[in-house]
Amino acid sequence: MSDVEAQIKAEIRLAVLEYLVTKLYVGHFQYHRIPTEDVRRMAVEHAGYEQIIPGLTPEQSDHASAEWREAIEKMLNMQLEMLAKARGEPMPEPVHRG
């Protein structure tokens, strides 16, 4: 397997994991009848969460934090979109805190 094929495989596996985790969260929200407004409020709160990774230079830490926020926002927006589709609601505004 070439490096490119290995990278594609890794990206596909990551995308599948993101999708499955999102489905689990949406199932939880649906099962417990958590209102969409509450889900969105929680998403906005979590979007601002900072992850600190020890052993990085300040520049690397800034970059890692930005990547972390972007990944969290992507997952939260996937949850909100999937929940809206499941409930027949309009698509929500994207969550963004940066």
pLDDT tens-place string over residues 29-66: 999 999 999 998 888 887 766 777 789 998 998 888 88
Q: Is 36 left (phi over 0), alpha (psi -120 to 50) or beta?
A: alpha
- Kindly report whether the global pTM for this prediction surpasses the value 0.85: no
Amino acid at 55: G
pLDDT of residue 62: 86
Res. 18: pLDDT tops 80: yes
Contact 63, 3 (CB under 8 A): no
Q: Which residue has the tokens 């099962």?
A: 31
The confidence score (pLDDT) of residue 48 equals 67
- Exposed (0-12), middle (13-18) or buried (19+): which is 23, by Cβ within 10 Å? middle
* Confidence category of residue 24, pLDDT binned at 50, 70, 90: very high
The full length of the chain comes to 98
pLDDT, tens digit, 9 for 90 and up, residues 61-91: 888 888 888 888 899 899 999 999 999 999 8
Please report, for the chain, the start and end positions of each structural domain, with discontinuous segments joined by +.
3-87
Q: What count of other Cβ atoms lies within 10 Å of the Cβ of residue 97?
A: 14
